[in-house]
Structure 1
Amino acid sequence: MKDSDKILLDNQLCFALYSTSLAMTQLYKEHLDKLGLTYTQYTILLILFEKDGITLKEIADKLGQKSGSLTPVIKRMEAEEILIRQRGVEDDRQLNILLTEKGQKLREDILVISECVAESCGISVDKLIDLRSQLTELRENLKQKTLAQK
C-alpha cells in the first residue's frame, strides 16, 4: 500500500469499525423502536437476562461505561416497570438491578430481534461467531494497551 493510500478514510480500521457499528445500531433501532427500547436499554436487558439482580456497577463495567451515565437509563426503565432498583441489604451504597415480570417477558421479543439481526448480516453464523471473537480479542488488546498507558 502506498503511503498516500494509508490515510484514505476507507483504509482506516477505526472507520470500518465505526461505520459498521453505526449501521448495526441503526438496524437494531428499527426493531427496538417497536418495543419502545433504546440500544442501551437493550444491552442492559441482555445482561440482566444472563444474570438478574446484579449491581449497577457490574452492569456499567460489563458495558464499559460509568455507573453515573447509566443511572438515567436505569431510572427510565424503572419508570416503565421493566426493572426495579433495590438497595443492598449489607451495603446501602450498593444498587442491585432486578427485572420485573414485564422485563422478563421481553426475553422472547429480544430473541426474535437477535435472530432478525443475525439474518440481516448476510453472512454465515460461523463467520459471525468468528468475527465476534476477533472483535472481542481486538477490544481486549486495546483495553490492555489503554491500561498500560495509565
Structure 2
Amino acid sequence: MESSENLKLENQICFPLYVIAKEITGLYRPFLDELDMTYPQYLVMMVLWEHDGMTVSCIGEKLYLDSGTLTPLLKRLEAKGLITRQRKKEDERVVEVFITEAGQQLKSKACSVPEKIVNSTKVDPEDLMRLKESVQNIIKTLKE
C-alpha cells in the first residue's frame, strides 16, 4: 500500500529548491532591471564574459539549456547590441557568439551584482557557499 506521506509538500525535495531558486532569482530583478536584462540573459552574458566566442552548443551545455530555449535569448541579446552571432566558416552549422563593445561595457556595470545579491540575502556568505557546493555536487551526480 502506498503512503500518502510521500505526497505531502513538506516531504518533497524539489519544493524547497524551487522556492529558494525563485526567491534568489527575484533578488536579482531590481539589479538586472538597471542593466535592462533578464536573469537568463545575465547568465548568458556571464558565460560569454568568461569565454568570448563560444558556440551556441557550448553555451547551452554550460547553462543546461537546449537550443530552442537559448536561441531566442541570443536573438534578444543581439537585438540589444550586446552580442553578435556568426556562423563558422569551416562548418556553417555551428554558430559562434561574440560580445560586442556594448556587451563589454555592460560587464563593468554588472560586476557589483553578485555582491549586492549576497548582501541582500542577509544569509551568512559561508552558508551560501556550502549550499552552492552541495547543490553543485547533486547536479554533478544527476548529470552522470
Residue 78 of structure 1 aligns with an amino acid whose one-letter code is: E
Distance apart, 1:38 and its partner CA: 0.7
CA deviation digits over 1:20-50, x for unaligned, max 9?
A: 0011111111211121101110000010011
Tell me which of the two structures has the higher relative contact order, counting C-alpha pairs closer than 8 angstroms and 6 or more residues apart: 2
CA RMSD between the two structures = 1.6
Q: Secondary structure at the match of 1:92?
A: coil
SS in 2 for 1:135: helix
- SS of match in other structure, 1:70: helix
Please name the residue that 1:16 is paired with: 16
Alignment of 1:46-61 (within 5 A): 46-61=46-61
Partners of 1:5 and 1:111 in 2: CA distance: 45
Partner of 2:46: helix, strand, or coil? helix
- CA distance, structure 2, for counterparts of residue 62 and residue 69 of structure 1: 13
Rounded to whole Å, the distance in 2 between the matches of 1:16 and 1:43 is 22
Q: Structure 1 vs Structure 2: percent identity of aligned residues? A: 37
Q: Does residue 127 of structure 2 align to residue 127 of structure 1?
A: yes
In the TM superposition, 1:1-150 aligns within 5 A as 7-144=7-144
- Measure, in 2, the Cα distance between the counterparts of 1:109 and 1:131: 27
- The equivalent residue for 1:148 is none
What SS does the aligned partner of 1:98 have? strand
Cα offset, 1:11, TM superposition = 3.6
In structure 2, runs of 5+ residues without a counterpart are none
The 2-side partners of 1:29 and 1:123 are apart by 18
Aligned residues: 142
Change in CA separation of 1:98 and 1:9 when aligned onto 2, cut-off 3 Å: same
* Cα distance, 1:6 vs structure 2: 5.5
Shift of 1:59: 0.5
CA shift for structure 1 position 142:
1.9
Gaps of 5+ in 1: 145-150
Amino acid at match of 2:60: A
Could you tell me how far 1:68 is from its partner in structure 2? 2.2
Q: Structure 1 residue 126: deviation in Å?
A: 2.2
SS of structure 2 residue aligned to 1:52: coil
